[in-house]
Amino acid sequence: MQTSLENDRMAKLKKYMADVLEKTDRPESYLIAVLHRAQNLFGYLSRDVMDEIALTMNIPTSHIWGVATFYHYFKLKPQGKHSIAICLGTACYVKGAGDILRTIKKELKIGIGETTEDGFFSLHEARCLGACGLAPVVMIDDKIYGELTNQKIIEIINNYRKRDRKSKEG
């Protein structure tokens, strides 16, 4: 079922595409811009959204899929409430990011690019967040947590969970 919110977003996306088609006869060259807009509106690129783009812009879906999967930036699944980006850049890696990643995976029971069953966390990898001095580092939403240990990261995750429970109860 499409909610009215989704209808509203779709209407906005269609308006955006109509404007693009207005100004170009090579819609393919605007594909990335349109995908960007779609992700901003919906949070990720669903098949329905990509189908709609294909149909409106007359671009084969296989091509859209190729572009959407090529760039890590584009998300193909609904994102969790909080995004955890683990830095696997050189400095972090050397300082044990691999280990931290394993802990997170185990704790959340998801892999990179996936979202927890309760829709609370999504896990991503990043390449150097520019905080090498604090390595190893994760970024949760837009907050940086550094000098991590296995224990510390679990505490941080649990804090998010607690806060969420409180805000639900309160």
Partner 1 sequence: MEKKTITIYINDKPYRVEPEQTVMQAADKLGFHIPRLCYHPKLSIEGACRVCIVQVEGLKNYAASCSYPVSDGMKIHTNTQEIRRARRDIVELILDNHPLDCHTCDRDGNCELQRLAYSMGIKKRHFEGEKKSYDKDLSSPSVVRDPDKCILCGRCVRICSEIQKVNALRQAYRGFKTVVMPAYNMPFSESVCTTCGQCINVCPTASFIEKNYTQELFEKLSDKSLIKVAQVAPSVRAAIGEAFGIPPGTAKEKETAAALKRLGFDYVFDTQFSADLTIMEEASEFLDRLQGKGRLPMITSCSSAWMKCMEQFYPDLIENISTCKSPMSMMGAVLKTHFPEKIKAAPEKIFSVAVMCCTAKKYEAQRPELKINGLNGVDLVVTTREAAWMIKSAGIDFLNIKGEEFDHPLGLSSGAGAIFGTTGGVMEAAIRTAYELYTGETLLDIEVNELRGLKGIKEGKIVMDGKEIRVAVAHGLGNACDLLDIARKEPGKYHFIEVMGCPGGCVGGGGQPYADANSIPLDEECLKLRAKALYDLDRNRTIRRSHENPDVQRLYKEFLGRPLSELSHKILHTHYKKKEPKGIIPRGLVRAR
Half-sphere exposure of 169 (CA within 13 A, CB side): 6
Q: Of these partners, ligand FES, partner 1, none, which one is at the site of residue 47 (CB under 5 to 8 Å by kind)?
A: partner 1
Q: Of these partners, ligand FES, partner 1, none, which one is at the site of residue 10 (CB under 5 to 8 Å by kind)?
A: none
At its nearest, how many Å lie between partner 1 and the CB of residue 33? 19
Task: DSSP for 39-105, please give it.
Answer: HHHHSS--HHHHHHHHHHHT--HHHHHHHHHH-TTS--SPPPSEEEEEE-SHHHHHTTHHHHHHHHH
- The contact pattern for ligand FES, residues 93-132, with x = CB under 6 A and - = no contact, is -----------------------------------xxxxx
Lookup: tokens for 155 = 């505490």
Q: Is 58 in the site for partner 1 (CB under 8 A)?
A: yes
At its nearest, how many Å lie between ligand FES and the CB of residue 127? 7
Cβ proximity to partner 1, 52 vs 164, nearer residue? 52
With contacts defined by CB under 6 A, how many residues of the chain interact with ligand FES?
12
Q: Is 69 in the site for partner 1 (CB under 8 A)?
A: yes
Lookup: tokens for 92 = 């972090």
Q: Are 80 and 44 in contact (CB under 8 A)?
A: no
Cβ proximity to ligand FES, 40 vs 90, nearer residue? 90
At its nearest, how many Å lie between partner 1 and the CB of residue 39? 16
* Sign of the torsion angle spanned by Cα atoms 72, 75, 79, 82: positive
Q: Is 87 in the site for ligand FES (CB under 6 A)?
A: yes
Helix axes of 47-57 and 61-70: crossing angle, nearest 10 degrees: 130
For residues 140 and 85, give the distance between their C-alpha atoms in angstroms, rounded to a whole number: 6
Cβ proximity to partner 1, 29 vs 158, nearer residue? 29
**Could you list the residues that contact ligand FES (CB under 6 A)?**
87, 89-92, 128-132, 135, 137
